[in-house]
Amino acid sequence: MKKLLYITDQQEYSEHGTIGALFHGYLKQYMQVNVVYFTKYKHSFQTKGDDFIVPEHRNGDIIDYLLKKEIDIASYDYVFVRNIAHILETVLKYRSKYGYKVGFRASFAKSSEAYERAKLEGTGWLKTLQIKYGNWRKDRFVNQVDIFMPTSTQMQRVFYPNATCKVYPLLTALNPATMSIRNARGDGVRRFIYVGSLDPLREFEVVLDAFNSIAQLGWSLSVSVYNPKTIRALLKLYPKIRERVSIHDADELAAIKAQVCASDVGLGMLPVRELYNNALSAKVVDYYACGVPALLSDNAKNRSIFDEGSEALFSPFESEAIAQRLKALIAMEETQLIEMGRKGQAKLIALERSYDVMAAKLAKELETL
């Protein structure tokens, strides 16, 4: 059986849908997979099941470190790297010696996010130049890999336009083992949820302005985010609706799933930026995994997947337009929303956006390298 070493950018104990469902799950039907996580809190190497736990300060020369820990690098047919350029550089350096194929997984355009944030914050020219250099450096390494796995074809075209290597998009997808369709509650309260990250680039105040304008209607909002301090500070500006917004720390997949499954509508509203318009957001897939329909940004990517009205609703990223869509969702029959979520979930399955299908296809693709 072929062997894959997947060096992530994730911390020990972190939970990630694609890593857990695809690499830790379905792909193991086709090959042996070991996943490397990092830790800020330990200073020794650990093996936990199929995982290798490495102190974060040792990631500078990860291959040499694993060799010293008696990990047989030569036994791997494939070594994948997730997001981090200097780790990719190290893995490429050892490729000819140990004979593995190299894959690079770009889950998010982090350097492009930094560039957008620098522009928004008015950061000086030196910071901007550093970010552009980082993009160029990553491009140079990407073109040396055997397979490049962005989150979508659009992501590659927008953020890696000079890629000349094999490009094989790994889309955010459903895990068939954890899908569900919720039952009707009939309590007359429309429950909305937002899952993910919040930072100035996402302009969540635009969404809160929309909710503030419909404070008289029957709704509640759950916000499950990685940095709750941001939303708590923002809500101080909205005293009229602050008590109707519950805040959760998005640190456990099971807890997030429970929160989503207890909701009626998921929010996938993001500003018009190339950073957000090139792939279906992971949070949206989380919603449809529970059969919860989404209110989405009105962009070409979202419309290429879902049909408006039957599977999702779309809105421009403007407070007044969002408020009108929220009103429409509040007025809908609960059974109509449940059916919309069911159809959206079925659409993703029909498009083969499920990790069991993706694992089989990825294993087949790797055999061609």
Residue 310: pLDDT band by 50, 70, 90 thresholds? very high
Residue 133 has pLDDT above 60, yes or no: no
Per cent of the chain over pLDDT 70 is: 89
pLDDT grade, residue 125 (50/70/90)?
Answer: very low
Contacts of 79 (CB under 8 A, 6+ apart): 4, 5, 6, 7, 73, 91, 95, 100, 101, 102, 103
Q: What is the largest CA-CA distance in the chain?
A: 67
| Contact (CB, 8 A) for 27 and 363 | yes
Pairwise pLDDT comparison (34 vs 141), residue with the higher score: 34
User: Shortest CA distance to 180 belongs to which of 334, 16, 345?
Assistant: 345
* pLDDT recorded at residue 358: 96
Tens of pLDDT, residue by residue over 189-245, are: 999 999 988 888 889 999 999 999 999 999 999 999 888 888 999 999 999 999 999
- What pLDDT score was predicted for residue 67? 96
179 vs 14 pLDDT, higher one: 179
What's the pLDDT tens digit per position in 232-251?
Answer: 999 999 999 999 999 998 77
What's the pLDDT score for residue 252?
A: 74
Name the pLDDT band for 140 (thresholds 50, 70, 90).
confident
How confident is the model over 144-180, as pLDDT tens digits?
A: 999 999 988 888 887 788 889 999 999 989 999 989 9
Q: How far apart are CA 109 and CA 274, in angstroms?
A: 10
Higher pLDDT, 60 or 358: 358
CA atoms within 13 A on the CB side of 61: 5
With cut-offs at 50, 70 and 90, classify the pLDDT of residue 119.
Answer: low
pLDDT confidence bin for 138, thresholds 50/70/90: low
Residue 120: per-residue pLDDT: 52
How many whole angstroms separate alpha carbon 187 and alpha carbon 218?
10
| Beta strands at 294-297 and 313-315: parallel, antiparallel or unpaired | parallel
Mean pLDDT score of the chain: 88
